Structure 1
Amino acid sequence: MAHIPDGVLSVPVLAGGFVVAGGLVAVSLRRLDERTIPRAAILSAAFFVTSLVAVPVGPSSVHLLLSGLMGLMIGRLAAPAVLVGLLLQAVLFGFGGLTTLGVNTANIALPGILFGALFAPAVLRAEAGRAGLLAGICAALSVAGTGLLVALALALSSSDYVPSARILLVTYLPLMAGEALITGFAVSFLKRVKPDALAGVAP
């Protein structure tokens, strides 16, 4: 459950989410230009589509985030890419919520941006196989980061959510594996056929 719905979080947590997400988007948009717009748009569309497909896991459900891949390919532009995807999902399908838009954007985009910045230099230097392995680790850590932020948002909103937050973290384990495989394969493939797709993604 990376998409926290309306009516769950406390007002201070919602406000903090909008502040963090707003700051990320404002800083990120400075890098938006004719070269980066198509790449950001494609990844935003991919995020929009894949995150609509939720797989039940225990008492919750999970879906692909692609945050690690976005962090590696578009860096800070992952923030507006995620924001657009979440906004369209909330408006068109009622998926997630409008009041939680800031929290959900920060929870998904921030780990991808941070771990993408950490792993991008090594991924750019590595050959295809090793780049795929590093990208997979980046994706798994990004998902873990999102899980921790979701749990934190719930726990800060109410102590009643703490047991649920702990269970929620467990549901992210299979998602970490799935994201690692998909992102690792994608990056390894790109390194072989179009290495410039990963060039210039420093934070």
Structure 2
Amino acid sequence: VSSPHGEHEVGRAVFLDRDGTINRSVVRGGKPYPPPTVEEFEFLPGAEEAIRALREAGFLIIVVTNQPDVASGVQRREVVEAMHEKLRALGLCDDIKVCYHSAEDGCDCRKPKPGMLIEAASTWQIDPRRSFMVGDRWRDVEAGKAAGCYTFFIDHKYQEGLTESPDAVVGSLEEAGRVIREELHLRGTDMGHEIVDIK
């Protein structure tokens, strides 16, 4: 089956949060925030290579990101889109789903709701039960679980807790990618929830 950037196995995807997963977040007061400029949009060590390896292994790569600073007026939509153009230009993803709403908007797309994952699953014929969600915040874990994915939590030691237990705790996207490729890729339609802490 052909995706926009190559061949993939039908039904399998890795959903990726953006800030703190693919690129560096700006951490203030123990909480992460998106980089304010395109110039500050910097890949985390090993992230680009991890994504390429997952794509070569046959997974669709779908970025799912909340960008509420656009709704609040702190950020401009064209700056966010320029950051995403960098991802597309490098051939790192098949799709990018963005929620530009604030928490007060009550939308269905903002994580922890699974709307972006469900929309992508419909568009790309993805089976969430055979797919993965990787992120660095509680919203990512909750959204992934609500969609039915196997969830990886990247622990950056932020000053915020988790609302649900992830299926796996790792230190980076690079580590999550290795586990997916080497240990989990042969699992069937229901991958189970055996892994608690890979670190």
Name the TM-score class by shorter chain.
0.3 to 0.5
More helix by share: 1
More strand by share: 2
Q: Which has the higher contact order (CA 8 A, sep 6+)?
A: 1
TM-score scaled by structure 1? 0.34
